[in-house]
Structures are given as structure tokens and as C-alpha cells.
Amino acid sequence: PEGIVCGDLGDKTSYNENSCGALSCKITLKAGETRTIAFLLGMKPSSEAAEVIRCYENPAPTVAEELEALKADWNSKLDNLKVSTPSPEFDTMINTWNAYNCFMTFIWSRAASFIYCGLRNGYGYRDTVQDIQGIIHLAPEMALEKIRFMLSAQVNNGGGLPLVKFTHTPGKEDTPDDASYVQETGHPAYRADDALWLFPTVYKYISETGNTAFLDEVIPFANKDEATVYEHLKRAVAFSLDHLGPHGMPAGLYADWNDCLRLGANGESSFVALQFYYAMTILKIFAEYKKDTEYVQYLEETQKAFGEKVQELCWDNDRFVRGYTESGERIGEAAAPEANMWLNPQSWAVISGLASPEQGDAALNNVYERLNTKYGAILMDPPYHAHAFDGALAVIYNQGTKENSGIFSQSQGWLILAEALRGHGERAFTYFMENSPAAQNDCAEIRRLEPYCYGQFTEGKASKHFGRSHVHWLTGTASTVMVGCVEGILGLRPDLEGLRLSPSVPKSWKHFEIEKVFRGKQLHISVENPDEKESGCCSLVLNGQKLADNYIPEKLLQDKNEVILTL
């Protein structure tokens, strides 16, 4: 750093700037002499700080021991998944840096930020439930604690509290139906998507661990009452069905994932509709497991009718539209002068399972042609400028920025996953590389973020600063890209009874290896790709035994397992 080189570290308090601390001390060494310096950073009242500092009066061996313990702690988490592929960028992100970024967002959600000024006033429901997904494959027991916490922030009507206070007290909270909550949190109403994020998160946790008993665990609601996890999820489905808009899709309520898109309380978001469709698929799996046959039938009928409705309302020839405003305007249709092509409905149509293979491919091709850039796919195109409807808050941002046609990095993870689910390994990996910090070491002057952590967004092609990235560390990108890479590109897809292996990789990956701990068992997976395929399974061999397809039932696993998958 320049400050070190010129010896002027200054002594300034950072005010709305990128904070950077530097410590220095001068020592003079005699020939052959060794000295150990330990810097201790933290914040405590002086008397308590003095106590802590005393422990380090003789830094060696305490510091060395503690460093070892710290390393061991990190390794115990990160070692649960290690990959060795032909891509050093992919390996360093999955093995270390994206994983580390995921733990940061897992711990903090968006509750603190170097970028927005100061602390936030609580945990955002959707953000926090999404962030959990990024660490499930590494530290499921940590995930479980947080899932319990977030379920206890679900209101007994099934909706999520938009903001979960730092002082959250299950069973005693007021809700968006109470003026006190609105006044204290600034959140005027429920959001349409909050509780729907629980479905993929709970499913990922149960599938990773096999802990189906969790479905029967009783957890309080935020305001009053308590119920099993299974019942919490049923209520989340009921919440969406109790809040339908005029066309029969979930009503927009205050907002969906996109903070800058207000379709109106009675508007309808296709993104939420797709999440809801997916939620019913997951709940059906749980209902089948619990032999709740009447409810399975109810879900089947409800989902079928709902899916047909979404198809009819949202498919527009080669794309899924973004939704309907309260006044009936269809957003994201091909004929619109601005914002006529949106990213998230295309990826989510595939992830949710609603799109037919033909629709999925057409929509994803359209994304590639219309939205992709060398730094990732922009959120929609063209940006809002002259034709924004009243709820298109994104228009306040310059074109190419944030939700107004920026490359919203979180959405890249869903795009990677969607392409991988369709078996398009080349595309999935292309999207990974375009926005990957590790692939941008040689354009720091453009990206302007650390080359090892994700940012919230990269300025899009409509911006004068195309490629410049912002809001590092605390971004939902960490978890979505991790899931896109682990479940998508690597194709590690656990379910209630075992593990499916469905990698979607570049054709040039002729061989790669995965070390994974799955339900306490060690798996060494070698993937062979002699015919340069992007996906598909030619054979799967577990401990010398050929399996029927690409699925490993848990009951066949030994303590240590050799797995060979040939694409």
C-alpha cells in the first residue's frame, strides 16, 4: 500500500468511504535476534480490553496456538467440499473465497455494511433465508440454527416478517398488521416473497443432512402460537393463496425480490408466481414423505391449475414476462418500449420446473442474446428512462446501474443454475467466469473491487462505467453463485434418500475431482469426460459397483467411498 511505502498512514476516520486500517510499529533488531509482534483488533471497554491484552503479554506461544486453532476451525468447515477442476478460478472460489464470502453473509446478512452508512435495523427476511443456502453443504449444523431462527420470525398467518429485529423475541413480536411494527421498522406491509424462500432453504438442509425429523420439530411463530416445521411451510403456501391478485397469481403486496419494482398491492409478480410453483413442488415431496395423502392430492391439483394459469398469463412467445401492475399493465412483454426482457423470470421458469424444456431453452437463449455482456447478464433491457410506470422505482438509478439494467450479481447465480439444470455446461461456466472476482485479477482498474469477493452489482453496458462493481462482501450473490456452482455446475444434488450427480461442465473438462463429506461419509468423486460432453451420465460406479443411473442411495454408502462418474 502506498501509505506504507511513503510512511504516511495518516490518522483519519473514514466517513462514508471504503475503510482501511493500517497498524505499524518500529523495532530494531540485533543481528540474529527474533521478535514476535502480535496485533490484536477488537472493541471492548478499556478495563475489559486490558484483561484481554494481558493474555497476550507473551505472544508466543498463545498467538501461534490460536492461529492454528483458527485455521483448524476454518478447515473443518471448508474441507467438507473440495474440488479440483481444470479451472483455477473455479477452484479458488468454491474451495475458499466464495465459501468465505458465504459465511460472512450467513453471519451478517445485510445487517452491516461498509457501503451503506452504518448499521441496518435488523435482518431482512428474504436475504437472511437465502444466505443460509450458501453454507448448507459446508456447515449444516450452523444452517439449522439459523433456519430455526428464521422460522420463528414467520407470522402465524404464514407470511415472513419483512424485517426481523435484532431483539427478535419469538411469540411476542408485532407484525406488519400492527402500526407499531410499521413505525418501528419502516416496513409498511408484508412482502410477497419472504416466506417462499424457506422452501428451497429447508429442502436443501434436509436433503444435505437426511434430517427428516426436522419436519416435526415444533417452532414458535413470531407473533403467537407454535407449530411443526411442516405446518410452518403449509402456512406459507396458505399465505400466498390467501393473498392472490385479480388474475389469480400471488399479489405483489409491498414488493418481491426486486426492491425497485412496485407492482402495487394487487399487482402480480411472475417471479413470485414461479417461486410459489416451486414451493408447492417441495412441499409435495415433504407431504409424500409424511404420507399426508390428502394434502398431496390438494397440492397436485392446486399446482396444476396454478401452473396453467401462469403459463397463460406470463409466457410471451420467447420469454416469460415480469408480471402485472395493479392497473393491469403487463410488464416485460416484447412489445414494451423499455424493460421488455427480464432476466429473473427466465432463470426461475427453469429452476421452478414450470417451463417446458423448449420454453426454458428459448428463454435462456434470449437471455444470452439480449442480456449477456462480458461481465455477466444485465437484469433487464432496455433500461427504464422515458417509459417507467409509477412503480418502476429503478428509474431513479442511472441507466446500467443496480436494478436499472445493472448486472445484478445475485441473479448470475440463478442463471448459472438454470443453464446447468438444462445441461448446458458451457453456458453455465461462461456465466460463472464473466462475473467471477477470481477471473478479474487483471482488470482491477475496471472492476474496482477485491478480486476475491462478490459485489452486489456491476455496472451494465448502458453505463459509462461498464464493468465497475459495487457493494462488496454482504451480497446475496455469495449464496446464489455458490448454489449455482455446487448444485448446478458440479451437479451435487442431494434429496431425501441420497445424492444425485448431474454435473454440467465445459466440454473441455475431461477430468475433475470432488471430495465431499455427505451425511458423515467421505466421498471421493472422479468425473471422467472422455467424449467431451457438457452433461449426462454414461455410467456411475460406487466402490466398484455399477449403479443403475446417476443416483447414489445413502444406504449404499460406506465410511469412505470411491465414486467414478463418466459423462
Active site residues: 259
To ligand IFM, the closest distance from the beta carbon of 337 in angstroms equals: 23
Nearest to 264 by CA among 124, 390, 108: 390
Is residue 191 close enough to count as binding ligand IFM by CB under 6 A? no
**What's the CA gap between 234 and 337, in Å, rounded?**
40
Part of the chain binding ligand IFM (CB under 6 A), chosen from 120-128, 167-175, 354-362, 537-545: 120-128
Please report, as a single letter, which amino acid is at residue 364: L
Q: Are 364 and 419 in contact (CB under 8 A)?
A: yes
Contacting residue, 93, 101, 105, 126, with ligand IFM by CB under 6 A: 126
To ligand IFM, the closest distance from the beta carbon of 226 in angstroms equals: 27
Neighbours of 28 (CB within 10 A): 6
> Over the Cα atoms of the chain, what is R_g?
25
Is residue 185 close enough to count as binding ligand IFM by CB under 6 A? no
Name which of 404 and 535 has its Cβ closer to ligand IFM: 404
To ligand IFM, the closest distance from the beta carbon of 257 in angstroms equals: 4
Please report, as a single letter, which amino acid is at residue 187: H
**What's the CA gap between 384 and 381, in Å, rounded?**
8
Binding mask 294-333 for ligand IFM (x = CB under 6 A): ----------------------------------------
Nearest 5°: phi and psi at 479?
Answer: -75, -40
Q: What does the block give as the cell for 313?
A: 398469463
Name which of 162 and 382 has its Cβ closer to ligand IFM: 162
Largest Cα–Cα distance in the chain?
83
Nearest to 456 by CA among 493, 499, 413: 413
Part of the chain binding ligand IFM (CB under 6 A), chosen from 51-59, 233-241, 256-264, 531-539: 256-264
What's the helix, strand, coil split of the chain in %, to 5?
A: 40, 15, 40
Instruction: Measure CA of the first residue to CA of the last residue in the chain; give whole Å.
Output: 47
Is residue 194 close enough to count as binding ligand IFM by CB under 6 A? no
Name which of 403 and 419 has its Cβ closer to ligand IFM: 403
**What's the CA gap between 393 and 404, in Å, rounded?**
9
To ligand IFM, the closest distance from the beta carbon of 75 in angstroms equals: 32
Nearest 5°: phi and psi at 549?
Answer: -150, -145
Is residue 258 close enough to count as binding ligand IFM by CB under 6 A? yes
Name which of 258 and 504 has its Cβ closer to ligand IFM: 258
For ligand IFM, how many residues bind (rule: CB under 6 A)? Answer: 8
- Residue recorded with cell 490518522: 11
- Residue recorded with cell 466421498: 523
Binding mask 400-439 for ligand IFM (x = CB under 6 A): ---x------------------------------------
Angle at 387 between CA 382 and CA 393, to 5 degrees: 85
Is residue 131 close enough to count as binding ligand IFM by CB under 6 A? no
Part of the chain binding ligand IFM (CB under 6 A), chosen from 89-97, 122-130, 364-372, 495-503: 122-130
Nearest to 143 by CA among 546, 483, 514, 501: 483
To ligand IFM, the closest distance from the beta carbon of 380 in angstroms equals: 12
Binding mask 67-106 for ligand IFM (x = CB under 6 A): ----------------------------------------
**What's the CA gap between 525 and 533, in Å, rounded?**
17
To ligand IFM, the closest distance from the beta carbon of 404 in angstroms equals: 11
Is residue 259 close enough to count as binding ligand IFM by CB under 6 A? yes
Name which of 266 and 456 has its Cβ closer to ligand IFM: 456
Name which of 163 and 206 has its Cβ closer to ligand IFM: 163
Name which of 286 and 414 has its Cβ closer to ligand IFM: 414
Angle at 27 between CA 22 and CA 29, to 5 degrees: 140
Handedness of CA 143, 515, 500, 131 (dihedral sign): positive
Name which of 230 and 397 has its Cβ closer to ligand IFM: 397
Q: Are 109 and 127 in contact (CB under 8 A)?
A: yes
Part of the chain binding ligand IFM (CB under 6 A), chosen from 60-68, 123-131, 285-293, 419-427: 123-131
Contacting residue, 257, 397, 509, 518, with ligand IFM by CB under 6 A: 257
To ligand IFM, the closest distance from the beta carbon of 124 in angstroms equals: 5
**What's the CA gap between 400 and 406, in Å, rounded?**
4
Q: What does the block give as the cell for 200?
A: 428451497
Part of the chain binding ligand IFM (CB under 6 A), chosen from 50-58, 210-218, 254-262, 349-357: 254-262
**What's the CA gap between 489 and 491, in Å, rounded?**
5
Contacting residue, 80, 122, 127, 352, with ligand IFM by CB under 6 A: 127
Name which of 124 and 307 has its Cβ closer to ligand IFM: 124
Nearest to 148 by CA among 51, 47, 219: 219
Is residue 124 close enough to count as binding ligand IFM by CB under 6 A? yes
The site for ligand IFM (CB under 6 A) is made up of 124, 126-127, 257-260, 403
